[in-house]
């Protein structure tokens, strides 16, 4: 499979290593020196996009218009998801997006949803979250934290929204503390506190390998398909 990397930073290089190890070819690398406008789309079977929120939708548009399936790992662009869905539908495109491609994190998502369903029956516990990432990460909270919070909201009737801890969230909003430190691939905690005790679940990424492997698995899954998919579809 010929993979086009849209974004060739630390994550792009990690994806490259995994893809080559699995027998794929990196045919295109898009970065500042090699802009997307110069891409020969005939050289790409599937694109993998890890860039910035303000660039992601434009990159998806290029992929759709050039009939190239694309795996999108950039987060914080989802306010434009209806526009992207319409574009994919109009052009019979193929797109897979996720807030996190790590298999371990997606297992963590399932545990988080089940725990929220259980804790909905115990109003003495209040929930709060914390996420820690490297200082280069631009969005806060992380897309993974947002997904975790939205899943809690869907299962727990006490919560209707989420807010950063610096925004003085009320009792019906999940407080998310976002911390940026050097050389942290990603840590997410969900804690339920009561006067008696605390219940905490946590996922700690030791490196970028899990994210990179998940992105390559997603690209392998997406090849030859049409429509919009997520990591749930890959893991089924």
99 contacts 106 by C-beta, under 8 angstroms:
no
What H or E segment, with its residue span, contains residue 148? helix 143-155
Catalytic position from the list 24, 97, 133, 203: 133
Q: What are phi and psi of 203, to 5 degrees?
A: -120, 130
188 catalytic per annotation:
no
137 catalytic per annotation:
yes
Q: Which of 103, 143, 96 is nearest to 235 (CA)?
A: 103
| Cis peptide, bond prior to residue 141, ω within 30 of zero | yes
Alpha-carbon gap, residue 3 to 15, rounded angstroms: 10
Catalytic position from the list 2, 10, 13, 137: 137
Please state the separation of Cα 45 from the chain's center in Å.
Answer: 22
Active site residues: 133, 137
């Amino acid at each position: 499979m010929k993979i086009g990397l849209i974004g060739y930073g630390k994550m792009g290089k990690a994806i490259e290593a995994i893809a080559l190890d699995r027998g794929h070819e990196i045919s295109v690398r898009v970065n500042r020196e090699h802009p997307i406008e110069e891409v020969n789309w005939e050289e790409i079977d599937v694109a993998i996009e890890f860039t910035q929120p303000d660039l992601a939708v434009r990159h998806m548009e290029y992929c759709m218009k050039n009939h190239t399936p694309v795996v999108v790992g950039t987060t914080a662009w989802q306010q434009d998801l209806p526009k992207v869905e319409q574009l994919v539908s109009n052009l019979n495109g193929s797109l897979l997006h996720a807030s996190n491609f790590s298999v371990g994190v997606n297992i963590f998502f399932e545990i988080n949803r089940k725990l929220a369903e259980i804790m909905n029956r115990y109003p003495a516990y209040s929930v709060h979250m914390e996420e820690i990432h490297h200082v280069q990460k631009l969005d806060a909270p992380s897309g993974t934290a947002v997904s975790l919070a939205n899943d809690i909201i869907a299962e727990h009737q006490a919560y209707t929204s989420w807010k950063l801890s610096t925004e003085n969230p009320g009792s019906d909003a999940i407080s998310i503390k976002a911390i940026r430190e050097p050389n942290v691939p990603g840590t997410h905690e969900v804690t339920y506190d009561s006067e008696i005790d605390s219940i905490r679940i946590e996922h700690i990424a030791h490196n970028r390998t899990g994210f990179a492997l998940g992105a390559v698995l997603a690209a392998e899954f997406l090849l030859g398909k049409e429509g919009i998919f997520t990591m749930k579809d890959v893991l089924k």
